Amino acid sequence: MKHFTLESNMRANIGGAFYPTGYSMVMFPNADDADRVGRQLIESGVSGDEVYLLPAATVLAEITPTASDADNPLPSAGTEGATVRAYTKLAREGHAALLVKTKNEEAADRLMEVVRTVPYSIAQRYRTLVIEDL
């Protein structure tokens, strides 16, 4: 698994909120479950370069600040700011996250097969102009 660093291409063009197109973000109440799912994905053939483990502190430090201007200069037409605020709430409760490259629906389905083996809090897939509940 890779160490997460927020890159400019992981932000929305308008407002700058976290919006990693082509990835899915899943949060877990138990950090060990997040780590276990990430390792299972890699063991099943997902490249370790496409899986990021984000402890709660990383979500708060890297992703939370991106929502500050999400509705500036105009209210966002999308839900990216609200989604970041949901991640922030969960991270403050200690939830950890996985960010996984999901290029297509098949990859998202494979991800969720593994995720559903443990309790998870939220799962979102970022596509062009759409944040999809998984």
- For the chain, domain boundaries: 2-133
pTM > 0.85: yes or no: yes
Q: Where are the alpha helices (DSSP H) in 4-134?
A: 31-43, 56-58, 80-92, 105-115
Alpha-carbon distance 107 to 16, whole Å?
A: 26
Give 74-118 pLDDT, tens digit per residue. Answer: 555 557 888 999 999 999 999 999 999 999 999 999 999 999 999
Q: Enter the tokens of residue 76.
A: 């966002």
The DSSP bridge pattern shows strands 51-54 and 96-101 to be: antiparallel
Query: What is the structure's pLDDT at 87?
Result: 96
